Amino acid sequence: MAATGIMGGTFDPIHYGHLRAAEEVLQGFGLERVIFVPSGKPPHKPNEHVTSAEHRYLMTQLATLDHPHFEVSRLEIDREGPSYTLDTLRALRNQVAEKDLYFITGLDAVLETPTWKSYTELFKLADFIAVTRPGYDLSALAGLKETLGEALFQRIHPFPVTLLAISSSDIRRKMREGKSVRYLVPDAVAKYALKERLYTC
């Protein structure tokens, strides 16, 4: 049965690190598609300036437009209130009831899941693919196993990918400083951000 991958994030802006991780997971797990879900109101960034959801959505669209197995969802953008992963997974589970769901995120984020809203339910709605760099020490997961219990812990799949040392915050800084972001983000994303003066003010 074909499975669906879900990649959530602020995507401010989306960059090649996000895209490469999604590509490797897509192939590694034999997924039918990966749905990118730009967050509407990230609950973990309540006091930080986040670029408007519409701009982040459009940049994610531009970055994934030519990939036949990548899609972008407005689910969190159109939903009022904080963007909790729990609500997103519940909604997507209803949409693809008969298929497996895989939530794709970094290993560091997976280790923080006990602080997320109704975290035990998350692992009942979807498996978690914890992307990490090759050779990374996975011993930190031991504590999470104790917290979740064996059954839920089995739904976490550490997966080494070609993690690129790219961060959205560094891209924003470079653009503010007038430096090139070529080969960090797709050209269409860079052109859109410059045209809309998203990070140059």
pLDDT range class, residue 25, cuts 50, 70, 90:
very high
Query: Options 3.40.50.150, 3.40.718.10, 3.40.50.620, 1.10.10.10; which CATH number does 4-164 get?
Result: 3.40.50.620
Mean pLDDT, residues 60-75 taken together: 97
Q: What percent of the chain has pLDDT over 90?
A: 76
Q: What is the mean pLDDT of the chain?
A: 92
Averaged pLDDT, 175-179: 96
Residue 189: pLDDT over 60: yes
Is residue 195 pLDDT above 90, yes or no? yes
Angle at 51 between CA 40 and CA 78, to 5 degrees: 25
pLDDT at 199: 95
Confidence (pTM): 0.93
| Whether 104 contacts 22, CB under 8 Å | yes
For residue 148, pLDDT beyond 60: yes
Task: Between 134 and 111, name the one with better pLDDT.
Answer: 111
Q: Is pLDDT above 80 for 48? A: no
Whether 11 shows a pLDDT value over 70: the answer reads yes
